[in-house]
Amino acid sequence: MSTVETEQPSGGAPPRRLAVRTNTRFTRALGRAHLTVAGLVVLGVAGLGWLLARHTGSRSLYLLVYGGVLVMAASYLTARRRLAIDVTRSSVPGRVREGQTIAVELTVVGKRRASTLILQDQLDPALGTPSPLPLASLAPGEELQHTYTFSPLRRGVYQLGPVAATWSDPFGLTQQDQRLAEPVTLIVHPQTDPVHDRILTRMWEDPPIRPPASKPWPTGFEFYGMRDYVQGDDLRRVVWSAVAKTGKMLVRESEQGISDRVGIYLDTAREWHRPGEPSQTFETGVKVAASLCQRHTKDGFSVSLHGNDDVLVKNARGGKARFDLLDALARVEMGKTPQHQVALRLMAEARQGSHFVVITPHLERKTADLLRLVLDRGCSVVVVKLVWDESDPLSWSRAVELGCQVVRVSADGSVADAFAHLLMRTAAK
């Protein structure tokens, strides 16, 4: 048994990815025609020779053209053979993170002799560059292992594979291919940062007090009070200083915040996002939404995820729900539905004690007016303003005038740092 290991580059600049995509398209066109570049040249020369022979009436040129056609036919018939090869791909996780390095091992076993072929697990350009395995000869019963790595460049849903073998005739004029292993679906989740957007003060409270909608929460965020110890309580929550003063076993309770219902609204309107494919501001907004979804589901809240067109995930709660949210964010794309459609849906969902996060590069006047009504209903709202070079400065002013919490996230900045700055500003009030 022999082993071949190759390592694939994990990243690349966008111009390079575009060149790879163009080259792959041309290669696939040749593959569908079962031709190599040399064969395409031979056919082109034969066609030109036939036109020239018809124009001049030269019998010699006709014979040369017919000879070239016969050579092409013989090359095609020579290469038409089926391979007897078994290929097994190692187990690949169905869900991976953007930028995560994935190792794949292909095990190749020959049933009968095969020679002069190239084995390759086909990859989408967003997953990386394919790592081909050239095989000069494979004897019957011989086992070969081929290991390669790839690192997804962008979130999304992709097909890994199929594993295909490509070979040519002895003249190198035609090529044949055969699928040896079926493709598998790979969901690439967006990257996440540690964030914290819970509100410490509320605009309608002066001085800030515990709102009536909040409840005691064993592992909450703000100090709620102390109560008598009961059997089963975690000893780490015992307030020993209070025990020394009162002689009673008292445990600490925390406040869950204003609500356990969180709505995350991602603006998917293409109009105001930064141009490009992928859009830098839109990918940053997806990253913000993914970070918030991960944070709030981990804390035990009920999370709803919205796009401009529809509700992506409704009332997700618990560890498994986090995968549903990240799966939806892996699939989400920009569209043409205007932003105020999200605000109308937010109005319908607004109940006292709800907490909403609106992620957008541009806050329209109509949307700002609707958000003001949401705030008047006793909800808390955080506006995440996605900032880039040509973003509208009036959008920031509208968000600030609302009186809600506002987070500025640069298209090329850190999401965690932006939310940490929000907490410092809130704590200083």
CATH numbers and ranges of domains, the chain: 2-189 (2.60.40.10), 216-255 (no CATH), 261-428 (3.40.50.410)
pLDDT 10s digits, 189-241: 999 998 876 543 333 333 333 444 444 444 555 555 677 887 777 787 788 88
Question: Looking at residue 327, what is its pLDDT?
Answer: 96
Q: How far apart are CA 47 and CA 38, in angstroms?
A: 14
Mean pLDDT of the residues in the chain: 81
Q: What's the chain's length in residues?
A: 429
Q: How far apart are CA 298 and CA 292, in angstroms?
A: 10
Assess contact for 65 and 44: CB atoms under 8 A: no
Assess contact for 5 and 147: CB atoms under 8 A: yes
Query: Is 61 in a helix, a strand, or coil?
Result: helix
Q: How far apart are CA 165 and CA 177, in angstroms?
A: 5
β-pair type (302-306, 261-266): parallel
Assess contact for 316 and 277: CB atoms under 8 A: no
Query: Is 218 in a helix, a strand, or coil?
Result: coil
Assess contact for 253 and 226: CB atoms under 8 A: yes
**Token pair recorded at residue 270:** 């293409």
**Token pair recorded at residue 381:** 């709202």
**Token pair recorded at residue 274:** 């930064």
| Residue 193 DSSP code | -
Query: Is 328 in a helix, a strand, or coil?
Result: helix
Q: Is 302 exposed, middle or buried (0-12, 13-18, 19+ CB in 10 A)?
A: middle
Pick the more confident residue, 58 or 13. Answer: 58
Helix residue ranges per DSSP H, 12-36? 14-33
Examine residue 152 and say whether the peptide bond preceding it is cis (omega within 30 degrees of 0): no
Question: Looking at residue 198, what is its pLDDT?
Answer: 57
Q: How far apart are CA 323 and CA 319, in angstroms?
A: 8
| Residue 191 DSSP code | P
Question: Looking at residue 185, what is its pLDDT?
Answer: 94
Q: Which helix (H) or strand (E) holds 74?
A: helix 59-79
Lowest mean pLDDT among 51-55, 256-260, 387-391: 256-260
Question: Looking at residue 334, what is its pLDDT?
Answer: 94
Q: Which helix (H) or strand (E) holds 252?
A: strand 250-255
**Token pair recorded at residue 255:** 């406040």
- Helices 415-428 + 280-298 axis angle, to 10: 60
The stretch 386-415 carries a mean pLDDT of 82
Of 150, 375, 384, 374, which Cα lies nearest the Cα of 288?
A: 384
Question: Looking at residue 116, what is its pLDDT?
Answer: 86
pLDDT 10s digits, 256-295: 444 568 899 999 999 889 998 889 999 999 999 999 999 8
Q: Which helix (H) or strand (E) holds 104?
A: strand 102-110
pLDDT 10s digits, 335-376: 998 888 888 888 887 775 678 899 999 888 888 888 888 888
**Token pair recorded at residue 108:** 């190749």
Report CA dihedral (210, 215, 218, 222) to the nearest 10 degrees.
Answer: -20
Alpha-carbon torsion 83, 86, 90, 92, what sign? positive
**Token pair recorded at residue 167:** 């070979």
Neighbouring residues of 15: CB distance < 8 A, sequence distance ≥ 6: none
β-pair type (102-110, 95-97): unpaired
Neighbouring residues of 96: CB distance < 8 A, sequence distance ≥ 6: 102, 152, 186, 187, 188, 189
Assess contact for 273 and 307: CB atoms under 8 A: no
Sheet harboring 102-110: ordered strands across?
2-5, 143-150, 102-110, 85-89
Determine phi and psi for 280, rounding to 5 degrees.
-65, -40
- Integer angstrom CA distances of residue 346 from 369, 371, 425: 12, 8, 26
Residue 163's pLDDT band, with cuts at 50, 70 and 90, is very high
